Amino acid sequence: MNDIVFIGDWIKDRVLGSGSFGIVVLWKHKNNEQKLAIKTCKWGDELTTKHRERWTKEVEMLQICNHPNIVATKELPPEFVTGLARANPSNLPILCMEYCSGGDLRQVLTRADACCGLKEIQVRKILNDIGNAMRFLHNNKITHRDLKPENIVMHVDDVVGLEQTPKKVTYKIIDLGYAKEIDSNSICASFVGTLQYLAPELFYSKSYSNSVDFWSLGLLAFEIICGTRPFLPFKAPVEWMPSVKKKTHDNICVYETFHGDISYSNEIFPENHISKPFKALIEEWLKIALEWDPKMRGRNTPSKVTFDIPSEEKGNTLGSNIIIFTLLEQILARKIIKIFSVTTISQVAYEINESTTILTLKTWINKDTNIPTENQILISPTSYTDIDNEELVMKYWNENSAVMLYVYNKNQIIDSSCAPNVPKAVQRCLEHHKDLYNYKNSQNLYRNAFYFVINQMDIYEALINGIFSRAESLKQESKQLLVKHNSVDKNLGQFLAKVEFFTKMTEEGKKHVEQLKESEVGTNLLGGFGKIFKEIDALLEKTQKIQNAWSQLSIRIQSAARRSNEGISTDMNSFVAKYNYQNVFSNAYKTFISHKKSEFYNGNREREKQCPDIVRVCYDVLKLRSKILQELQHQQFILKLKDLSIEFAKISDIITKATDNIEILSTDLSNSMDEFTSCVWSTISVVVRDADNMADLPYSVVSFQKRDFKIGESVSHHCIPVAHREEDTVKSLISESLNLRQNHTNLCEKLNSQKKMLQQTIFDFAFLNDTSQ
């Protein structure tokens, strides 16, 4: 087939893969972008009847398995039937499939950066796609029997969009050559599949069921999370099976210690890239998927002590149902919020639901970071706004984001005393740098060391992005404070306008009162006004103070806003250009790859040697981390963020207090205006009353002076109005009022006696008629 390059309008591009007896070639159409993956059998008459059946069965199954996560078949262009006749000596059906440009999953797992597993986003996507595909096959009574990373390919959608938009990747199962239709009453007796991914019963039992796929799916999940298989990956199946058989239901990992002892664990390896909540959930699922007993595997049976376990022949009975796919679906549906703590330079994550509030989230963060709840600032990297405690966390959840929120301490930008999380293998090599390592131990060391470098790079990237987000949030905060300031400033202006009006009114009142006092007219009527004027003067003094303070705050907030808008990108870029992990990563990568290509890796695995190159890498990582944190503390942009953070907190506090004080002063002003108005109108009421009603007026309201009294005139014309006071005001004037009352009574008695005397006196005018004169 190598000599066949052109078939009609199709051009041979390259060989995509070659198996035991099949070869897959990529063909491209010269007039368009159409691509096809065409699989042919490379053998002829030497094929057995079993091989021919397997090939035919794969073609038939792929044609009926119409599922987005199973590679699709295409209609074979007719020119290939004759064009590939020479390359198909077996005359078996030619399989034409869609082309998946991303390659297979094994190619991804063999990359250096995947030495300790893939990122959680990728892990979730793989488990979702492959889980759906396997569920589809099992629902259609098909057992794959050869599920492994080599049989999972990646279809990359060629979507035209923004360059920064990640392309959508779909994971698909290929190679159903070993697949077999099977139901609950049938068993298989053929020994197929890749040895390391085969379920234990395929080695020691004559029969098996579709639960063999559960085991393979569990191994796949473990490997994409940790970068290695869970059960003694450095041993052949015949070596690891006796040890794995001894594991309990809860054991999901069996490994060799540094000294060669066999250890059992209920957890996956800590060197991974997934969050703690997801890790805990997937560990429970792995206990079901990696159950040794095939009759219990994938089911909801709690442990091996359960009696009368139903077999495949009995079907699903109550208490022992297949839940592996449903449980995986439920786990992948859980929402986990991922947060980076800039202050403690650490990552935290929590499972949330529709009702989880920010305040609840802060209490969780407090337990893990020791940042007091009241001192926490949560910032979204999309909106750069400080999130309110009453908001729902779900609003900020994004399944495609590695960091969904940043958390800061109000009193501290970065705590440089926080220690890094160093893998145990790295700790050992740093403490005992001259130790000898065999093949297995060296593999673990190089993997964990390179993971440590990648992890520190990720943390550093998150730290820099967190600092930038804080700078952007301070810009937003300055805008919000300006809006808040302008709102309060408007209210203050309205208040000052009222004060100015009332001041003019009271100043005019003061002038009239002073004039009356100078002329000694009605001085006893003016006692109520004096207290009101004192209260008004005190209010004006407070108003002047808040006005002066507000003027200073306006200048202060304008200055802070200007500084926040200056930005720190230039300074940060300069710092990152000077301090970064690129050199360390490059050295670590070269060291890792060199080790994999070394004779020690490919040759005598029993030999031991020192590993000074990777020890040096580990030292360099820690040294660089320490240097970065020390330098950050003194960087101008960090000091600027710290000052602005404190300044904005103070300004916000001042604005809040000013708002409260303005409200209090407004209330006092309103009360004073009401009191002043009441006093004025009470005085006017006294002035216009008739003298006959004088006795009924409060004794504190009017005052008579003897020299001003004239018979025949209304007494009210000589009254000096005094404001009608409440009980608290009247008490201060009781003594004066009693004297006024007594004088008023005496005067009234004299007036009445003189009036009676005038009425009773009889004058004799008879002398006017005396004629004798």
Whole-angstrom distance, CA of residue 151 vs CA of residue 167: 22
57 burial type by CB count under 10 A (0-12 exposed, 13-18 middle, 19+ buried): middle
For residue 578, what are the β-bridge partners?
A: none
Per the CB < 8 A criterion, the answer to whether 323 and 302 are in contact is no
Per the CB < 8 A criterion, the answer to whether 386 and 358 are in contact is no
User: Residue 102: which of 31, 153, 161, 66 has the closest Cα?
Assistant: 153
Strand 169-173, strand 180-181: pairing: unpaired
Whole-angstrom distance, CA of residue 336 vs CA of residue 321: 28
User: Residue 127: which of 217, 252, 193, 198 has the closest Cα?
Assistant: 217
What is the DSSP secondary structure assignment for residue 205, as one 8-state letter?
-
As given in the structure block, the two tokens for residue 130 are 């492959």
Per the CB < 8 A criterion, the answer to whether 490 and 497 are in contact is no
User: Residue 722: which of 751, 743, 738, 698 has the closest Cα?
Assistant: 698
Whole-angstrom distance, CA of residue 539 vs CA of residue 533: 10
User: Residue 231: which of 198, 208, 202 has the closest Cα?
Assistant: 198
What is the DSSP secondary structure assignment for residue 171, as one 8-state letter?
E
CA angle 437/194/438 to nearest 5° reads: 5
| Kind and range of the H or E run holding 428 | helix 424-431
- The tally of CA atoms less than 13 A away on the side-chain side of residue 642 is 15
DSSP three-state, residue 336:
strand
As given in the structure block, the two tokens for residue 187 are 């068993």
Per the CB < 8 A criterion, the answer to whether 18 and 7 are in contact is no
As given in the structure block, the two tokens for residue 399 are 């399944």
Whole-angstrom distance, CA of residue 79 vs CA of residue 151: 28
Active site residue 146: yes
Q: How far is CA 68 from CA 123, 169, 636, in A?
A: 18, 12, 53
Considering the candidates 146, 175, 213, 415, report the single residue annotated as catalytic: 146
Q: How far is CA 66 from CA 60, 94, 125, 133, 640, in A?
A: 12, 18, 20, 10, 59
Which residue numbers are catalytic? Answer: 146
